[in-house]
Amino acid sequence: MIRNIFKVAIRNIFRNKVNSFINIFGLSLGITSFVLISFWVRDEITFDRYHKNIDGIFRVLEFQFYSDRIGTTSSTPGVLVPHLKENYPEVKYATRLTWTEETLFSVPEKNHFETCRYVDGDFLKIFSFDFVAGDKETALDDKYSVVLSEELASRYFGDQEAVGQTIKVRNDRSLRVTGVFKSWPKNCTYGDFDALLSIEEYIDRNEWAAEWGNNNLRTVVQLHDPTNYRVFDAKIKNIIREQKEDYEIDLWLQPFGETHLYSNYENGQQKGGRILYVRIFSIVAIFILLIACINFMNLATAQAVKRAKEVGLRKVVGAVKGNLMFQFLGESLTFALISGAMALAASFMLIPMFNTITDKQIIFDFDGFLLLILMGTILFTGLFSGSYPAFVISRYRPAEVLKGVVKSGKKANNLRKSLVVVQFSLSIIIIFSTIVISKQLQYVQDQDTGFDKSGLIYMSLRDDMDEKFDVIRTELLSNSSILNATATSFPPLRIGNSTWSVEWPGKSPEEKILFSNQSVDHQYVETMGLDLSAGRSFEAKYTTDTSNFLLNETAAKKMGFSPEEAVGQTITLWDRHVGKVVGVLKDFNFSSAHTEIRPMLLMHDLSWYNYLVVRADGSKLKEAINSLQTIQEKFASAYPFEYEFVDKDWAEFYETEQRTGQLFNAFAFISIVISCLGLFGLSAFAIQQRTKEIGVRKVLGASISSIIKLVSRDFALLVMIAAVIGSPIAWYFMDNWLSDFAFRIELSFLIPLLATFLVLMIAFLTIFYHSLKAARNNPVEALRYE
């Protein structure tokens, strides 16, 4: 019987070539999209599952209580880990880790910056490492040791044994290689390193990292009994308060398996993260698959009349309803199998491009997951898309069929219309979302940040370049490609320091405001192109400016002053740095559009310069870069030359959104293609049903344009109904997505109108061919129809 079902299905495919192509191509597109998105979703939800002990690993977060909000950070004091290990037996392992650093590694004739983290030895025990050389239990016991990735060891030592070799770090310290490990998969948090160094060596160079009052390290723990982690959570909650009485900070454990998907917090409450994108794309995958299934159902019901005689004859010779249902479900499963095979081949070919768009390393393995997704999708698609035709067509009565009185009934027609509405509602939701994402990305890229990002280039000040900065600036400005130059402690958009230890006259003792802070020289305001709201900037002629401050407008407002009132106020920073406010800058955005502008405090500390920032002539960028390279080679020749553009940093803030936008564009296009394929088939059927009516209208003098309008009107009405249904749904989801941005576009009714117009135009173009063909037919031929 199965063989017979397959034979009939193949015959129907070749008998109705156009419909068969529409069904198979549409289903294969839908299944391909579903499979690719399923791979992406699996990669996201299995993040960090590479680590065997993931269920017992937790990262320590701080909830910091300020006057206007509760801040959440993963930065913790460097002394927290020793304190936990010494006083809390629940802790099995605990490690500190730094942010990634670009550190200079040197061996004879090789000199490169490598991405490193400084960690405790427990880091190698908490997380899963596959060592190819050395002993991970003791590899970081010595603070002058380093462990390398397999790729890094090969780069520096080739085929030689790496363990035991010496690498010079930062041109000032030699470390011994004690281990070589295989790199983690890409879907691992904190996995962006090529080498690990001892945290003790880091603290030797940064003594402030061992103070309770400094948060600059991350803390990860593994518990003996992870099932009771909330009990342990309560025990460590007040550790910071106990060590620093005036610090209103709570500690809190987050299961490490949640770090990737649930990383966003607002006022101490978890507020999404990448889980939002997982949900969005899961819905998109289902939408596209449903659109493809609806195509099949619509075309199958439209063709029901043509197959009515076949059903009648089968029943006359003894077929029962169950046999016929099995026959039609088998046929739809055959279509799904053929489409699934095409989707499998397409997915395999598209994976490299898909990885490029999503920045993933998804491997197309014929594993259980792929088989489950593919077979489950084929089974669902075949049964769902073939269910209605199977139930409807199998109910036809032989007598009526053989008399030729079976027509495409009102119920079937209403079902087709309903399915078209659903189909285009889903398409409008996807197109609406695509438009919003595109507009928001364009908005944040073009956003007025308060300074001109173009032409700003920065590089690190190596060796003693900070001490020779006046000489360096003079040399740079002698080149016409450099318009201005300044020294700062942080890159313009990566200010990594903040403090609430700021005092001023009239401040309430209970008031806590977090200020971002950095040190800049007297050319900072001019180089960045910032505007003053009141007062002046730092100036070289005022030697006392090394004790003074600049604020932004938000900082002045938080302190309770207008810009004019803030100028001249005395500020005490960290209980030791006392000076006057000499100027207030107009607010400028030194972070991404996801966050509001925070209070900013600028000082003029000559000993805290780490970066050189130049304003280059946009027409002479290559010359400006060559000038910077000459400076690097002259004043720090032992270091490779590296530089960054500020506008590139700004673009990187929205890398996730950019990739989301690219995927939405692709899937919006696919959903429209699938919908139009179905509409193409349905419009042909609809015109065939109205052939005699169109002939009569032509005889009575109807024009070609009026006939095209007649045919198009019904479908246009369905698209309008779809817009009314889909637009509010899309509006709701996109408004939630935009709430993650402090600076965002406002949704307007032009967006659903634009989405509807696009769909209407596409739908009209789709059915235009059939409409024009019908309108041009000879009415005599039309009236001979049937």
Question: What is the per-residue pLDDT across 609-629, written as a single tens digit (0 to 9) for each?
Answer: 999 999 999 899 999 999 999
> Burial letters for 64-93: b for 16+ Cβ neighbours within 10 Å, e otherwise?
beeeeeebbebbbbbbbbebbbeeeebbbb
pLDDT of 644 reads 94
pLDDT of 524 reads 95
| β partners of residue 550 | 583, 602
Band of the pLDDT at 111, cuts 50, 70, 90?
Answer: confident
Q: Can you list the pairs that 681-685 forms with residues at least 24 positions away whose Cβ atoms lie under 8 Å?
A: 681/18, 681/19, 681/22, 681/295, 681/298, 681/299, 681/302, 682/298, 682/299, 682/302, 682/416, 682/420, 682/715, 683/711, 683/715, 683/766, 683/767, 683/770, 683/771, 684/18, 684/770, 685/299, 685/302, 685/303
Band of the pLDDT at 15, cuts 50, 70, 90?
Answer: confident
pLDDT tens digits, one per residue of 572-617:
998 889 999 999 999 998 888 888 899 999 999 888 899 999 999 9
Band of the pLDDT at 385, cuts 50, 70, 90?
Answer: confident
User: Residue 122: pLDDT above 90?
Assistant: yes
Element (H, E) at 308: helix 308-316
Band of the pLDDT at 468, cuts 50, 70, 90?
Answer: very high
Q: Can you list the pairs that 6-10 forms with residues at least 24 positions away whose Cβ atoms lie under 8 Å?
A: 6/330, 6/334, 8/327, 8/331, 9/330, 9/331, 9/334, 9/335, 10/334
CB of 571 within 8 A of CB of 625?
no
Residue 685 CA to residue 687 CA, distance in Å, equals 5
Structure-block tokens of residue 347: 């997915």
- Lowest model confidence (mean pLDDT) among 52-61, 264-273, 749-758: 264-273
- List helix spans (H) across 489-562: 524-528, 553-558
CB of 535 within 8 A of CB of 528?
no
**Pairing label, strands 577-585, 549-552:** parallel
User: Residue 460: pLDDT above 90?
Assistant: yes
Residue 170 CA to residue 106 CA, distance in Å, equals 8
User: Residue 631: pLDDT above 90?
Assistant: yes
| β partners of residue 107 | 110
Band of the pLDDT at 464, cuts 50, 70, 90?
Answer: confident
Residue 213 CA to residue 289 CA, distance in Å, equals 54
CB of 153 within 8 A of CB of 139?
no
Report the phi/psi class of residue 265: left, alpha or beta, with left for phi > 0 and alpha for psi in -120 to 50.
beta
Report the phi/psi class of residue 344: left, alpha or beta, with left for phi > 0 and alpha for psi in -120 to 50.
alpha
Segment 425-445 mean pLDDT: 88
Segment 291-300 mean pLDDT: 79
Residue 458 CA to residue 196 CA, distance in Å, equals 27
Band of the pLDDT at 260, cuts 50, 70, 90?
Answer: very high
Residue 209 CA to residue 379 CA, distance in Å, equals 58
pLDDT tens digits, one per residue of 714-724:
778 888 898 99
pLDDT of 770 reads 66
Structure-block tokens of residue 119: 């960690």
Residue 177 CA to residue 163 CA, distance in Å, equals 5
User: Residue 5: pLDDT above 70?
Assistant: no
User: Residue 405: pLDDT above 70?
Assistant: no
Segment 537-564 mean pLDDT: 93
Q: Bigger pLDDT: 501 or 391?
A: 501
Q: Which span out of 251-260, 326-335, 756-765 was modeled with the highest average pLDDT?
A: 251-260
Band of the pLDDT at 164, cuts 50, 70, 90?
Answer: very high
pLDDT of 606 reads 83
Band of the pLDDT at 316, cuts 50, 70, 90?
Answer: low
Q: Bigger pLDDT: 537 or 405?
A: 537
How many residues are listed for the chain in this entry?
786
Segment 557-583 mean pLDDT: 93
Supply the pTM of this predicted model: 0.83
pLDDT of 389 reads 64
Structure-block tokens of residue 448: 């007025």
Residues 6+ apart with CB under 8 A from 454: 618, 647
Percent helix / strand / coil, the chain, rounded to 5: 50, 20, 30
Element (H, E) at 387: helix 368-393
Q: For residues 379, 384, 385 and 388, what is the CA-based torsion angle, rounded to 10 degrees?
A: 140
pLDDT of 646 reads 93
Residue 284 CA to residue 278 CA, distance in Å, equals 10
Segment 630-640 mean pLDDT: 91
**What phi and psi values does residue 339 have, to the nearest 5 degrees?**
-65, -40
Band of the pLDDT at 784, cuts 50, 70, 90?
Answer: low
pLDDT of 320 reads 63
Band of the pLDDT at 370, cuts 50, 70, 90?
Answer: confident
User: Residue 560: pLDDT above 60?
Assistant: yes
Percent of the chain past pLDDT 90, that is, above it, reads 46
Band of the pLDDT at 487, cuts 50, 70, 90?
Answer: very high
Band of the pLDDT at 14, cuts 50, 70, 90?
Answer: confident
pLDDT of 125 reads 96
Sign of CA dihedral 329, 331, 333, 339: negative
pLDDT of 569 reads 95
pLDDT of 778 reads 63
User: Residue 241: pLDDT above 70?
Assistant: yes
pLDDT of 408 reads 52
User: Residue 728: pLDDT above 80?
Assistant: yes
CB of 585 within 8 A of CB of 550?
yes
Band of the pLDDT at 767, cuts 50, 70, 90?
Answer: confident
Q: Bigger pLDDT: 127 or 657?
A: 127
Band of the pLDDT at 226, cuts 50, 70, 90?
Answer: very high
Q: For residues 174, 178, 182 and 183, what is the CA-based torsion angle, rounded to 10 degrees?
A: -40
Residue 662 CA to residue 454 CA, distance in Å, equals 24
User: Residue 113: pLDDT above 70?
Assistant: yes
Q: Bigger pLDDT: 313 or 643?
A: 643
Band of the pLDDT at 153, cuts 50, 70, 90?
Answer: very high
Q: Bigger pLDDT: 366 or 456?
A: 456
pLDDT tens digits, one per residue of 69-96:
888 999 999 999 999 999 999 999 999 9
Structure-block tokens of residue 631: 């400076």
Segment 678-683 mean pLDDT: 72
pLDDT of 145 reads 96
| β partners of residue 180 | 133, 148
Mean pLDDT of the chain: 86
User: Residue 658: pLDDT above 80?
Assistant: yes
**Pairing label, strands 195-198, 110-119:** parallel
**What phi and psi values does residue 640 have, to the nearest 5 degrees?**
-65, 150
User: Residue 266: pLDDT above 90?
Assistant: no
| β partners of residue 645 | 457
> Burial letters for 46-58: b for 16+ Cβ neighbours within 10 Å, e otherwise?
ebbebbebbbbbb
Q: Bigger pLDDT: 76 or 16?
A: 76
Report the phi/psi class of residue 585: left, alpha or beta, with left for phi > 0 and alpha for psi in -120 to 50.
beta
